[in-house]
Amino acid sequence: GKMRCGVIVLIIASIFGCNADNLNSVVQGNDEFTANTYKELVKISGKNNIIVSGLSAEIVLSLLANGAKGETQKQLLKGLSLPNNIENVNKAFTEITSRLKVNTPDLK
């Protein structure tokens, strides 16, 4: 449940040196963004068999937020359900994506 997820986030944060609150808020934001995106896609398509990579979309859109300033940046981060601090968002995504780059020889 939520407690287990919170413990996992804290462990990851402690291993990789990212502020746990910051990482947790970005992970929660990603969950919310992904769920909302999925719901909208289901409304549009009328089908439940949809695969969504909320993390991929959120990373790309957060790059857009990096180039934006002021109210535009604030609205992008709000729409992505991310904290209103682009530096903290960048740090959290750096930690998350570094874990995705791990080469595991057992995986083909």
Residue 8's pLDDT is what? 54
- Decide if 105 is inside a domain: no
Residue 11's pLDDT is what? 53
- Decide if 41 is inside a domain: yes
- Decide if 107 is inside a domain: no
Give me the CATH number covering residue 49: 3.30.497.10
Residue 3's pLDDT is what? 55
Q: Which of 83, 1, 102 is nearest to 58 (CA)?
A: 83
Q: Report the distance separating Cα 20 and Cα 72, nearest Å.
A: 27
Residue 17's pLDDT is what? 52
Q: Report the distance separating Cα 89 and Cα 1, nearest Å.
A: 24
Dig out the tokens for 1 from the structure. 């449940």
Q: Which residues of the chain have pLDDT under 70?
A: 1-18, 104, 107-108
Residue 83's pLDDT is what? 92
Residue 78's pLDDT is what? 94
* Confidence (pTM): 0.67
Q: Report the distance separating Cα 52 and Cα 34, nearest Å.
A: 7
Domains held by the chain: number: 1
Residue 9's pLDDT is what? 52
| Structural domain that includes position 33 | 2-100
